[in-house]
Amino acid sequence: MDVHDDEISVGVLALLLCCLALKLSQNQKERRPRRWSIRPVNLSRENSFNYFKNIKKKDPEEFFKWTRMSDNSFNALLALIHDKIKKRKIKRGIGAEQRLCITLRYLAHGDSMQSLAWSFQMGKTTVRDIIYTTCEAIWDSLKNDYLELPHSIEKWKAIAKDFEDVWNFPHCLGALDGKHVSIQAPPNSGSAFFNYKKHFSTVLMAICNANYRFIMVDVGSLGSASDGGIFHNMLFKELLEKGHLNIPPPEELENTTFKMPYVLVADEAFPLKKYIFRPFGGTNLSVRERIFNYRLSRARRTIENAFGILVARWRILKTTIIADPPNVDTIVKACVVLHNYCLSKSQKYNPAGYTDNGDQNDGIWREETTPLRSVGRLANNNAVRYLYQLRNSVADYFVSEVGELPWQYDHVLNRGTVFAAN
């Protein structure tokens, strides 16, 4: 390389350095300087928590309305998540108790993040980060103890016993259903989350036990996904079909020689499977088929009521959630696990009369909110013949001397008929 080439190289390098310096200078000019670490109007934000502190000490009723739990349950939850949400000591930092307070207000009442920012005198971005971080901490801290999917025959049988004792449906492992949760259209998502009801949504699939407690949730299916795709992509379905859940084998019903499998109960949106029972379809049903539908409906209403309690207590689920999809999933999962947590801590969360009283009266939750939109048909019902025979055998049992209920005929024949769609 001669001297001339060296001069050219130096010139090019100098030109590049000048361009880089110019770009950095422009960026610095474009970047708005931060005028303050805390907006002056928010310097007194500690006072905005005084009402919360007062009701926590003096007014259990108002505190429950705010948080959906008692003072003791709040403190226990705070102890579980404290280390996950506390921040390093900084001047005028926001404490862990305040962070949980803001998050529960958001989840329980569906306030917008902007309204919470004004109420608690902090920036909207700060509120958003608090809610996302705290919801993640709630899910991580509670899921193992309050949303544990059974993995032993004994635990599955305990669930089945509750269903038989309370709802008169034998060998039932849970009630299954799916709901749409409305969301704001994510950027650049096209129609991925646009569902058949002409709304953007994500899907919450869940199974509950006889006492309205969720034992499995699957969150995050695209609202636009085919209903069949939603069902077939469920992790629970995969685990179940591969035999990873230790489901009890079929056993004889009491005082019979008929071996009935252990099953989930669902509505007509789901396919008839060896592990899922759905109603008989149509309107011209025999008494035996109507009795079966009635008995199945009693057990299946547990999931309808579980979702009803969930939405009535955690009203963010009835709004259009404004967040990116991963954070929407975290918010929904936090609501589900909080539902189980509160259900186990106090009867006040689900007092007498709050859920449907069997077949007689609707629960109070129906006066406070409306149900989430259900998913559509989740698969074609192309069941093989032996599955129809299996369901028929259970229907026969329900009208036999050993399997019938004293009031079932009166309900079906005189008080109304239980129908199912095709």
Q: Comparing 40-54, 99-113, 125-139, which segment has the lowest mean pLDDT?
A: 40-54
Highest mean pLDDT among 114-118, 378-382, 414-418: 114-118
pLDDT, one tens digit per residue, over 53-73 is: 999 999 999 999 999 999 999
pLDDT at 46 over 50: yes
Q: What percentage of the chain reaches a pLDDT higher than 90?
A: 58
For residue 65, CA distances in Å to 59, 71, 107 come to 10, 12, 12
Q: What is the pLDDT of residue 32?
A: 54
Q: What is the pLDDT of residue 382?
A: 56
Looking at per-residue confidence, does 229 or 283 come out higher? 283
The residue among 194, 196, 201, 198 whose CA lies nearest residue 179 is 201
pLDDT at 179 over 60: yes
CA 164 – CA 169 distance, rounded (Å): 5
User: In the chain, what are the domain boundaries?
Assistant: 48-146, 153-414
pLDDT at 191 over 70: no
Q: What is the pLDDT of residue 226?
A: 43
Contact 223, 180 (CB under 8 A): yes
Q: What is the pLDDT of residue 9?
A: 65
DSSP string, 22-70: HHHHHHHHHSPPP--SS-GGGTTGGGGGHHHHHHHHH-HHHHHHHHSS-
Looking at per-residue confidence, does 27 or 103 come out higher? 103
Tell me the angle at which helices 96-109 and 71-85 cross, rounded to the nearest 10 degrees: 120
pLDDT, one tens digit per residue, over 324-336 is: 989 999 999 999 9
pLDDT, one tens digit per residue, over 152-164 is: 999 999 999 999 9
Looking at per-residue confidence, does 306 or 381 come out higher? 306
pLDDT at 338 over 50: yes
How confident is the prediction for the chain on average, in pLDDT?
84
Collapsing DSSP to helix, strand or coil, 371 comes out as coil
Collapsing DSSP to helix, strand or coil, 215 comes out as strand
pLDDT grade, residue 197 (50/70/90)? low
Which token pair is 375?
């998913």
Q: What is the pLDDT of residue 41?
A: 45
For residue 329, CA distances in Å to 178, 181, 316, 335 come to 15, 10, 12, 10
